[in-house]
């Protein structure tokens, strides 16, 4: 484990920034982008995603020597689906209103490409603990991007954050931000800013 | 809510409630494949077919297996297994029956199991408590709407290959912008039918 320590830091940094699943790999935006018009719902969805990637990476890694190569995809899917069911039951019991608002989207974490992608690319080849760290780091890397999108959308679209109105009466809500196109535009602009920075800093190094 | 006619559910799934443009589902394969019209059309057909059939299959499974056995909380696992099994089956049949069809669609089929749009359609149907004909209409319409969006997108991207895009925005960024504009255009349909 002493050897794994420095790598652990690397893995976490990659998931959060250097290899961020949204900016660099553009994966997994399907299931969560739809709920980013309300900050609170996004937060719950993202917690679910971190929970699922962390634990499914951990379990897939534990099982990795037992899974036959040919059916590994379906085994991974089943592991992921089981954890999503656990999460779904937890939020149904503790946050029934948000659970209702999220509706089908909690179930769609199963087909979020990040979860599957990390299980396939990392957990199958690495030890359980570091796999779990990788899963959590990627989940968090995804979370901060989506929360940023949700922040902009809720602020401009409803003039509020966490359901609390922060902009005064003078503010006219941008309805487009609450509707579907807003999500596409905000994410695109965010990707533009971050990728532009990345390109520039790469050139600076050279 | 259950009295919406089958035709309006179908039209709503294609236009006003397009599963890609209003629910953001199926984005991953959408962004990855939509750079070529031919490949997009292939994937679109495959998605439409699989979505139409699995929506009905999962509806039957829900009504006749999960509800009587009180296993509704297991629905996610069961749905995904039904979808995976069906895709596998279709792949095997196509492989035996037609080489040219397999060459055209074969590579897309494994992608479909993890396409969120397929599972999404099934989950929406379950949550909105559609009847069987409604479920079939929603599945077929949803798939068709998705196919239409990806083919349109591929057409635009082919044209765009010749234009200059700021470097940070090229690739995924500009695709998202285009999708956003398409979604904006589709909002124009929303007065037509009101379905949730």
This complex has an ipTM of: 0.84
B67 touches chain A (CB under 8 A): no
What pLDDT is recorded for position A205? 62
- On the 0-12 / 13-18 / 19+ scale of CB atoms within 10 A, A17 is middle
The structure's pTM equals: 0.85
The CA distance from A153 to A46, in Å, is: 16
B27 touches chain A (CB under 8 A): yes
Provide the shortest C-alpha distance from residue B38 to chain A (in Å). 23
| CA-based nearest residue to A89, from B72, B114, B120, B23 | B72
Cα-based distances in Å from B97 to A33, B54, B100, B108, B141? 39, 21, 9, 17, 27
Per-residue pLDDT reduced to its tens digit, B65-81: 998 998 888 888 999 99
For residues A37 and A177, the answer to whether their CB atoms sit within 8 Å is: yes
Which domain covers residue A140, as residue numbers? Answer: 4-205
What pLDDT is recorded for position B56? 95
Q: For chain A, give the percent of residues with pLDDT over 70.
A: 95
Which residues does chain A have within 8 Å of residue B166's beta carbon, measured at their own beta carbons?
A: 192, 196
What pLDDT is recorded for position B195? 58
Which residues does chain B have within 8 Å of residue A73's beta carbon, measured at their own beta carbons?
A: 110, 113
The CA distance from A55 to A76, in Å, is: 12
What pLDDT is recorded for position B106? 66
| CA-based nearest residue to B139, from B157, B120, B155 | B120
Per-residue pLDDT reduced to its tens digit, A66-115: 888 878 888 888 999 999 999 999 999 999 998 888 888 888 888 888 88
A104 and B123 in contact by Cβ < 8 A? yes
Number of Cβ pairs closer than 8 Å across A and B?
A: 131
What pLDDT is recorded for position B139? 94
Q: Which of B28, B82, B84, B174 to mutate to test the interface with A (most CBs of A within 10 A)?
A: B28
Which residues does chain A have within 8 Å of residue B156's beta carbon, measured at their own beta carbons?
A: none
B172 and A113 in contact by Cβ < 8 A? no
Interface of B with A in 139-168 (CB under 8 A): 166-168
What pLDDT is recorded for position B194? 62
Who wins on pLDDT, A176 or A56? A56
What pLDDT is recorded for position A2? 37
The gap from C-alpha B107 to its chain's centroid, in whole angstroms, comes to 17
Which residues does chain A have within 8 Å of residue B177's beta carbon, measured at their own beta carbons?
A: 184-185, 188
Other residues' Cβ atoms within 10 Å of the Cβ of residue B1: 8
Q: Which residues of chain B have pLDDT under 70?
A: 1-2, 106-107, 193-196
- pLDDT bin (cut points 50, 70, 90) of residue A5 is very low
DSSP output for A76-123: HHHHHHHHHHHHHHHHHHH-HHHHHHHGGGTGGGGG-HHHHHHHHHTG
Report, as an integer, the average pLDDT of A118-146.
Answer: 90
B169 and A187 in contact by Cβ < 8 A? no
Count: domains in chain A? 1
What pLDDT is recorded for position A1? 37
Two tokens, residue A171: 């503010």
B72 touches chain A (CB under 8 A): no
DSSP output for B40-91: HHHHHHHHHHHHHHHHHHHHHHIIIIITTTT-GGGHHHHHHHHHHHHHHHHH
By C-alpha distance, the chain A residue nearest B116 is A111
- pLDDT bin (cut points 50, 70, 90) of residue A18 is confident
HEC assignment per residue over A184-198: HHHHHHHHHHHHHHH
By C-alpha distance, the chain B residue nearest A116 is B114
Which residues does chain B have within 8 Å of residue A89's beta carbon, measured at their own beta carbons?
A: 73
Which residues does chain B have within 8 Å of residue A111's beta carbon, measured at their own beta carbons?
A: 80, 114-116, 118-120
By C-alpha distance, the chain A residue nearest B82 is A74
Provide the shortest C-alpha distance from residue A82 to chain B (in Å). 7
A184 and B176 in contact by Cβ < 8 A? yes
């Amino acid at each position: 484990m002493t050897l794994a320590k420095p790598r652990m830091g690397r893995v976490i940094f990659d998931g959060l920034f250097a290899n961020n699943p949204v900016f660099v790999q553009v994966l997994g935006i399907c299931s969560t982008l739809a709920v980013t018009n309300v900050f609170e719902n996004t937060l719950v969805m993202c917690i679910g995603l971190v929970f699922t990637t962390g634990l499914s990476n951990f379990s897939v890694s534990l099982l990795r020597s037992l899974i036959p190569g040919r059916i590994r995809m379906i085994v991974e899917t089943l592991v992921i689906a089981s954890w999503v069911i656990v999460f779904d039951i937890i939020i149904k019991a503790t946050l029934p209103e948000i659970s209702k608002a999220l509706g089908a989207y909690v179930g769609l974490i199963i087909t979020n490409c990040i979860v599957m992608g990390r299980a396939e690319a990392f957990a199958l080849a690495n030890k359980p603990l570091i796999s779990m760290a990788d899963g959590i780091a990627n989940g968090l890397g995804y979370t901060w991007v989506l929360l940023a999108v949700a922040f902009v959308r809720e602020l401009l679209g409803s003039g509020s954050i966490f359901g609390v109105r922060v902009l005064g009466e003078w503010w006219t809500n941008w309805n487009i931000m609450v509707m579907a196109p807003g999500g596409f535009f905000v994410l695109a602009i965010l990707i533009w800013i971050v990728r532009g920075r990345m390109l520039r800093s790469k050139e600076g190094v050279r | 809510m259950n009295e919406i006619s089958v035709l309006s559910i179908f039209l709503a799934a294609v236009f006003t409630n397009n599963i890609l443009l209003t629910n953001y589902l199926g984005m991953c394969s959408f962004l990855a494949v939509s750079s070529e019209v031919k490949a997009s059309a292939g994937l679109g057909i495959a998605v439409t077919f699989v979505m139409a059939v699995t929506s009905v299959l999962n509806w039957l499974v829900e009504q006749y297996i999960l509800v009587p056995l009180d296993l509704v909380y297991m629905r996610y696992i069961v749905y995904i297994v039904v979808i995976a099994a069906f895709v596998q089956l279709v792949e095997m049949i196509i492989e035996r029956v037609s080489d040219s069809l397999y060459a055209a669609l074969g590579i897309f089929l494994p992608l479909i199991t993890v396409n969120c749009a397929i599972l999404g359609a099934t989950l929406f149907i379950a949550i909105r408590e559609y009847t069987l004909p409604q479920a079939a209409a929603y599945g077929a319409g949803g798939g068709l709407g998705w196919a239409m969006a990806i083919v349109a997108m591929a057409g635009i991207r082919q044209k765009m290959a010749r234009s200059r895009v700021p470097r940070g925005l090229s690739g995924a960024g500009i695709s998202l912008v285009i999708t956003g504009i398409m979604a904006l255009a589709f909002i124009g349909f929303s007065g037509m039918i009101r379905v949730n």
